[in-house]
Amino acid sequence: MQKNSTKHKQTQSQGRAKWVRLDHASKLFPATANYQDTKVFRITAELNDAVDPEILQQALDAVLPRFPSFNVVLRRGVFWYYFEQTDQRCIVQPETEDLYEPLYIRGEKRLAFRVLYYGSRINAEIFHAVCDGAVAVAFVRALLGQYLLLSHPEVITAEDIQPLIQRTPAGEKMDDSFRRHFKHTDKLKSKQSKKKEKKKRVRAWNYKGTKLARNRANLIEGTMPIRTILDAAKNHRATLTVYMAAVYARALWEVRRGDKPRPIILAVPVNLRPLFPSRTERNFFQVMNIELPEPTPEEAPDLDWWIRQVADVFKDSLKPEELAASSTELLKLESNFLLRILPTGLKDLGLRIAHRINDHQHTTSISNVGRLDLPEKLAAYVRSCYVSTTSRDISLFAISCAGSLSVSFTSVYRESELQYRFFTALQSQGVPVEITSNRNIITAESSNENIESAIVPPAEGVNPTASSICPLCGCAIRGYKARCPLDNEPLQFPADARCDQARDVFPAAEQKTNRTLLIKLFAFISIAAMVISFILDFTLELPLNLPLMTLLGIVSTWTSVGAVVV
């Protein structure tokens, strides 16, 4: 009997899906994600040739077992969120929708990442609770190597892609490095016990502009030769990250002129793996806020002054003990018993409020993800790589690959003055910039009024390589654009720009109506209206005219909703 019960328990445990606790950094993302800010980030590899979706699917199937942290679905429990391991297969899909579509929707069991293709681009979109940018770069590097191996077997061998595969034990891949390094460390606690002067939190200057509908992403990518911008940074005796941050800070100061002189504060994510040895494939980063001093009118135009200020602040902030102390304090707060027993809904509410408050404590975020290293034999097939993420305001991200550096701006505003000032500043330093964007895309017009007004070309094909020089900003604008994404200047575009097969770098995705959310909203309003009408009718002893009129109003409203949804 004992043996049978043991076998039954083993069979029962094997049938259960294994669940994984969210790490410290991941807990913010499911609580604050919504349809406007989906907490999805995107790594893109653009090839010289068109993407073959069948080979891409084979490459994805071969690579995914090496990344166990990706084979999960996010679930919402009574007291916390957790990951549940799944055997769902990720299917490669053509990109037809808007950027950064939601990956986590409460109540739905869906993978927390997707792989898309469009033209020559391979796009991996990942929910930020799964991993950070360093792991996403490693995933795309492995996927890219496997894809090139399968698509060019006569040139590339299995030995060529071995450097792209990280050899890490499975236990370390799923390790929660925050708890390993920061939770039970006497040395850190002793450092924390020393009294330090706490800096008074100040409200940062925030960029203002006209927001796009549904906070739709305005993505502008600038690509430049890595050697040229490294030489420009070297001429100013600065590292690449400090140089870009200084150019960005000066552009922010120029945009801020005439507004309230609040401080410019940059939020900079820091990869903690070089400082605290870890091979985890989950989140392991810390965000540091860098407050820049206020320049005088004479100092502000001087780029060297900005470089000195940024370098000094970086040096003071990038101290392991400072980053460790901050993480330890947050883990201590997270371990509070009273907070742990609160239901998930109350925790979500508190995190959303804290997230809103934190938005006013930094101006913008800037992140240099680093290099996506490829062997020389593989780099010959890659044009460039890009990284970007959803933003509640405006953010800058950079990555280098295949001899080029790509800087991506994600913004929820129509205006592009900040991007214009940043890229034209690089142009004035002798750095040529090529611009791609999901704005101002020319599409073929349909002659039939019964179908869509624009014809979107199929996802299979090669992205355009030709570019037009904008007469105002001087940047090369790649793709089929009616106007420059930076200054809205009309551009000369080729005669075939409106043909059915004309393909931009991005698909001309139409903004979708969120049908599920719309139906739920009107269902709630309808039920509430009927309940209120019956309460008023019973309390005031009115005839049944009020509920009947309310019912007629609900029917007419649902008729209007049906016209929109259907």
In terms of phi and psi (left: phi > 0; alpha: psi -120 to 50; beta: otherwise), the region of 370 is: left
Residues of the chain under the 50 pLDDT cut: 1-15, 186-196, 446-452, 511, 513, 563-566
Q: Are residues 261 and 394 in the same domain?
A: yes
Encoding tokens for residue 259? 């507004």
Mean pLDDT of the chain: 83
Q: What is the pLDDT of residues 6-24, one digit of tens each?
A: 443 333 334 455 888 888 8
Total domains, the chain: 4
Cβ proximity of 507 and 118 under 8 Å: yes
What's the distance, CA 226 to chain centroid? 23
Q: Are residues 262 and 354 in the same domain?
A: yes
pLDDT of residue 212: 84
Q: How far apart are CA 327 and CA 332, in angstroms?
A: 9
Which of 389, 416, 443 corresponds to the end of one domain?
416
Task: Provide Rg for the chain, Cα atoms.
Answer: 26
Q: What is the CATH number of the domain that holds 240?
A: 3.30.559.30
What's the distance, CA 46 to chain centroid? 18
Cβ proximity of 177 and 284 under 8 Å: yes
Residue 41 lies in a domain: yes
pLDDT of residue 130: 94
Q: Note the pTM of the prediction, 2 decimals.
A: 0.84
Q: Are residues 110 and 233 in the same domain?
A: no
Q: Are residues 141 and 210 in the same domain?
A: no
Q: Are residues 154 and 226 in the same domain?
A: no
pLDDT of residue 9: 39
pLDDT of residue 548: 66
Q: How far apart are CA 482 and CA 459, in angstroms?
A: 21
For the chain, the distance separating the N- and C-terminal CA atoms, rounded to the nearest angstrom, is 60
Q: What is the CATH number of the domain that holds 120?
A: 3.30.559.10
Q: Are residues 214 and 69 in the same domain?
A: no
pLDDT of residue 555: 67
Give the range of the structural domain holding residue 140, as residue numbers without chain letter.
Answer: 17-169
pLDDT of residue 122: 97
Encoding tokens for residue 27? 């807990």
pLDDT of residue 1: 38
